[in-house]
Structure 1
Amino acid sequence: MRHKARAGPRLLFLVLCAVLLATFSGRAEAEPTNPLLSVVRIEAHVPGDSRTASRLGTERAGAGVVIAGDGLILTIGYLILEADEVAVTDRDGRRFPAEIVAYDHATGFGLLRAHEGLDVPAVALGVSGEIEHLQTLLAASVGPVPAHPVQVRAVKPFAGGWEYLIEGAVFTVPPISEFGGAALFGEDGRLLGIGSLILGDAGGSGEAGNMFVPIDLLKPVLGDLLAFGRSTEPARPWVGIYPAEIRGYLVVSGLAEGGPGASAGLERGDLLIAVGEEPVKDMEGFFRAIWALGPAGTRVPLTVLRDGSVFSIEIESRDRHDWLKLGRTY
């Protein structure tokens, strides 16, 4: 059922957006409760020999959101993944060194903590499970325009070609260009999500927009991330395959260098037909079938089509964390 927003709250929220934008445009002093003050700029340097350097670059920048009074910042994990140097900058242009606290591939979140001196209010976490279709929210990031009213087009699972699948991804329009680590705020100023991607089709809407990782995914793992730098749940089996959905087929578009798939003999252009006895035609089905086999280290049987011939191949999965070059700053 389509959500029909109430005129009163919608109007008040749009007025709030206008006030917040005017506040930062004029650089006037804002109230401590202003959620935009919690958004900071993140810059990370990643060594050239890192596993993700070729795909994500060695100089990365985006946004993050302060979520605790000790300078704890939530962002999208790829900004800080394998970084050896990280810094944050507040709205007044003050720059502070930071250290990486955690990275969680299952959700896509990353945590870092600014060193002493960052005087930025922490934002409260909302409930992303209450987001409704066509609801108006506020996307906030770094850049010339700090905040943008956006509308929810879909809330549904999202599968990414880096062996990534989440429930309840939030798709919004119009797109914002400074999406990496951007904050998604509700009408009450609480944090509902963190920006991850810009897409030509936001959640099947036919419109360009952004995908936000829902904040509810953080809550069950936050304790582990703070204590251990990662979740203590058994690691999922990782096969090092970058699949792509092309004309109803699932194609190997790339392979992680030195990863399980490459070591087993898979090649770019191979068509993935089945995982065990389970036929697969899309990334979501492919990932779910692999993860259902067991934890990292599980052997993954695949049926593959190459040059008109069908054959079977078995991949010895790994824990992705063992392949990444982590722990440079934590």
Structure 2
Amino acid sequence: MLDAPFPASDDLLLDAYSRAVTAAVARVGPSVVHVATRRGPGGGSGSGVVISPDGLVLTNAHVVAGAEALEATAPDGRRFPARLLGQDRATDIAVLRAEAQGPLPAAELGESARLRVGQVAIAIGNPLGFANTVTAGIVSATGRALPSRGGWPVEDLIQTDAALNPGNSGGALADSAGRVIGIATAVIMGAQGLCFAVAADTARLVLSQVLRFGRVRRAVLGIAVEKVAVAGRLARAAGVDGQGFGARIMRVVPDGPAAAAGLAEGDVILSIDGVATTGADALLRALGGERVGVPSDIVALRGGEVKQVQVVPAERGGAG
């Protein structure tokens, strides 16, 4: 019996999942650069994602912190200097300009608000110096928060089990369509399958403010939140009928604005000055710089009862 002929196309050897992942990598991979930093006699490295042909690059603020010089290396080996346009340590996002000759392959920023737990997540970066390393997993959760060195929590994080390692920081987390849904930022050392990325919607917000103002000015309440479902009758009682979700407080920063106003862990924030807060991403968007120092009315749920409080947001430190 003759052996079956070898398939004429590699596509025939791939199942649907493999085809989706390889297509996404082909789309995003050329846009993921290695970012090298020089700090005095030493240096460091991480990853970055080119998001416009003229060289705008998203990376992590902690990758470029204290850097005296920056250099980006494309997957094809081209090297070019880069300069810092602005950073926001509160969200761990920095914006660079890669000064390349000619256009660069650019990735598309997706809409992280539409993410669903369980969908495919593909990480591309330069872990431990291994260029353009690809790992894949799923979106494990959305709207996570982690404490930062400055005390304020970093919010609106995507949790994934796509493996990340030192050097992945600033790299791409993409969906199966090849859209960047997050910028890789952190792992929990000693844990397995607990990796995090800054949501694309948050990165887009930082990008727009850096390009417009050169910095990010943001109001904060001093809380970490997560997205939770809200019963329709409770939403109607609070005057926010139809939103379906709220932002449950997971942690309150001592002496912060929320603590001063009497908000507590477990409270579910439904709106701020009439703007629905359906999760960490919506709360971040609602807390623009114009709210700093301005009393704001918050509608929240506590134990099934509607609670109305007034909070005076502070300005979040670590920006600029």
TM-score range, shorter chain: 0.5 to 0.7
1:305 corresponds to = none
Structure 1: distance between partners of 2:15 and 2:116: 17
Gaps of 5+ in 2: 1-13, 223-250, 270-282, 294-313
Gaps of 5+ in 1: 1-9, 22-32, 49-57, 239-248, 253-260, 262-271, 297-316
1:104 corresponds to = 88
Q: Does structure 1 retain, via aligned residues, the 8 Å contact 2:170–2:185?
A: yes
Deviations 1:107-155 (A, max 9, x none): 3211001113265311111111121111112111124362111111111
SS in 1 for 2:113: helix
Structure 1: distance between partners of 2:68 and 2:47: 18
SS in 1 for 2:204: coil
Percent identity between the aligned chains?
Answer: 25
1:39 corresponds to = 32
1:196-275 paired onto structure 2 within 5 Å? 196-199=185-188, 207-231=192-216, 233-234=217-218, 236=220, 275=259
In the alignment, structure 1 residue 156 sits paired with structure 2 residue 140 = no
Structure 2: distance between partners of 1:118 and 1:12: 36
The aligned length equals 237
118 and 149 in structure 1: CA distance in 2 versus 1, 3 angstrom threshold: farther
SS in 1 for 2:163: coil
1:282-293 paired onto structure 2 within 5 Å? none
In the alignment, structure 1 residue 131 sits paired with structure 2 residue 115 = yes
200 and 79 in structure 1: CA distance in 2 versus 1, 3 angstrom threshold: closer
Q: CA deviation at 1:193?
A: 0.4
Greater Cα offset, 157-166 or 72-81: 157-166
Aligned equivalent of 2:161, options 173, 177, 184: 173
134 and 80 in structure 1: CA distance in 2 versus 1, 3 angstrom threshold: same
SS in 1 for 2:108: coil
123 and 281 in structure 1: CA distance in 2 versus 1, 3 angstrom threshold: same
Q: CA deviation at 1:12?
A: 2.8
SS in 2 for 1:37: helix
Q: CA deviation at 1:217?
A: 1.2
In the alignment, structure 1 residue 14 sits paired with structure 2 residue 18 = yes
TM-score, normalised with respect to structure 1: 0.59
The letter of the residue matching 2:176 is E
Q: CA deviation at 1:11?
A: 4.6
Structure 1: distance between partners of 2:259 and 2:23: 53
251 and 47 in structure 1: CA distance in 2 versus 1, 3 angstrom threshold: farther
The letter of the residue matching 1:12 is A
The letter of the residue matching 2:43 is E
Deviations 1:262-297 (A, max 9, x none): xxxxxxxxxx9x944748679xx9xx9xx9xx848x
